[in-house]
Amino acid sequence: MLLSSVRPLLLTAVLLPFAVAAPAASTAASAAAPTATPAGPETLVNSNAAEPAFCTKNTQKFCPVFEENFDRLDTKVWKHDVTMSGGGNWEFEWYTNNRTNSYTKDGSLYLHPTLTADNIGAANVVNGFTHNIEGNEALVHCTDPGFFGCLRTSDGRNIINPIQSARISTVNSFSMKYGRIEVRAKLPVGDWLWPAIWMLPTDSSYGNWPASGEIDIMESRGNAPGGQQVGADTYGSTLHWGPSFGYNGYPKTHKEYKLPGGKTFADDFHTFGMEWTPEGIKTYVDDPANVVLDVPFTQTFWDKGGFPTSMKNPWEGACTSAPFDQEFHLVMNVAVGGTASYFPDTPNKPWKNTSPNAALDFWNARDQWLPTWKGDNVAMKIDSVKAWKLC
């Protein structure tokens, strides 16, 4: 998503030991195991002359390792981010751990953005208020101090993040290397909402972002289709990779999918999937045959990127698939706005991506966008998460 981020007998997420060890009370996942695309030796067209033996995995079977149906929200499985850092994109939300912004209802998880003004008052959002979320309580203290993520003061120009929302992950409970993930979700609708289902490296084996990679299974926007912005009828899948922040090769590994017939992803639940083997990564919607992004690992990402020869190759000597040859965990969130050009500047957008006071501009224009935020429709609703490992 970055462009520039157990109780015995009560476990709702079912895990098998894989990557991060599951709690002792966990039992085998019940999801039916799909069949993998037949695996074979990689075609080496790259600078890694001798592929290590551990880079290949000759198997055609996926084994279930994780299943979550959200009968309740288990915070031992789902870790909340608590930060005002804006996801590295100066987004307008701050992520919380409370049951206003993340909760279960009718067997679905809701990630529901709300107004910070409902919590601290509209005047405090704009001026004269210091918001300190350091805290000393487990699971609710600040998790990311970057970009003034733990302490902010409103002064009339720089304001407190005007939206509260939720971002959860399996960083402490489940990660995987090679397999399949399916998330069945109904996306939110409302101007400037940015829902995402994605994966981050658990150990960042190759260094800082994006050198260790990022897998965006689904990113979308809540805006109405047919306007100046890409709308809720479209989503994108992306791989992020590169030797440094300024050299990200994601444009070469990005595709978008648009629903036909004037429908949006907020109209009904859809399955957002990803299949990952030593031979490549594919994302799909509703059926594995409906491929959105297809990235074969037929050359190293260093060669694919064509980066300056003066730079150091962070994946030298690693698998052809590097950085996508390590454990990744799942992240799900609803962001809002930001200045990283995910929402490009258009006449109807109430802030400029170059504005030093973009959050204030957004907040001052709430009479324009807030009427599009209607009840639970602004929440991303997740019905289930299922994962299989290549075994």
Alpha-carbon distances of 52 from 42, 141, 314, 318, rounded to whole Å: 11, 42, 16, 7
Residue that has been written with the tokens 């733990």 in this structure: 150
- In this structure, is residue 97 part of a structural domain? no
> Does pLDDT of 18 surpass 50?
no
Strands 291-296 and 151-155: unpaired
Kindly report which listed range (10-14, 80-84, 361-365, 370-374) carries the lowest average pLDDT score. Answer: 10-14
Q: What is the CATH number of the domain that holds 21?
A: 2.60.120.200
- Per-chain mean pLDDT for the chain: 89
The residue ranges of DSSP E strands in 202-242, in sequence order, are: 214-220, 234-240
Q: Looking at the domain assignment, is residue 210 inside a domain?
A: yes
* Predicted local confidence at residue 281, as pLDDT: 98
State the Cα–Cα distance between residues 118 and 367, nearest whole angstrom. Answer: 16
Q: In Å, what is the CA distance from 166 to each residue of 108, 131, 245?
A: 15, 18, 25
- Reported confidence tier of residue 13, pLDDT bands at 50, 70, 90: low
Q: Could you tell me if residue 358 is inside a domain?
A: no
Number of domains, the chain: 1
Phi and psi, residue 35, nearest 5°: -100, 135
Between CA 313 and CA 241 the distance in angstroms is 12
Cα(232)–Cα(221) distance, integer angstroms: 5
Whether the predicted pLDDT of 276 surpasses 90: yes
Determine which of 135-139, 202-206, 220-224, 321-325 has the lowest per-residue pLDDT on average. Answer: 135-139
What pTM did the predictor assign?
Answer: 0.89
Q: Is 59 a member of any domain? A: yes
Dmax (CA) of the chain: 62
Residue 109 lies in a domain: no
Q: Is residue 253 part of a domain?
A: yes
Q: Which residues pair with 68 in a beta bridge?
A: 13, 385
Residue 331 is part of which domain span? 13-66+170-352+367-390
pLDDT digit string (tens) for 107-116? 999 999 999 9
Neighbours of 356 (CB within 10 A): 11
Token representation of residue 330: 């799942």
Structure tokens at 106: 């009718």
Distance CA(214)–CA(217), nearest Å, equals 10
What is the rounded CA–CA span in Å between residue 58 and residue 62?
A: 12
Residue 93's CB is within 10 A of a number of other CB atoms, namely 29
Instruction: Answer yes or no: is 307 within a domain.
Output: yes
- Taking only the tens place, the pLDDT of each residue in 210-264 is 999 999 999 999 999 999 999 999 999 999 999 999 999 999 999 999 999 999 9
With respect to residue 205, please indicate whether it lies within any of the assigned structural domains: yes
Write out pLDDT tens, residues 334-359: 999 999 999 999 999 999 999 999 99
Confidence of residue 66 (pLDDT cuts 50, 70, 90): very high
Q: What is the pLDDT of residues 152-202, one digit of tens each?
A: 999 999 999 999 999 999 999 999 999 999 999 999 999 999 999 999 999
As a whole number of angstroms, the distance between CA 159 and CA 171 comes to: 30
Q: Flag whether pLDDT at 38 surpasses 50.
A: no
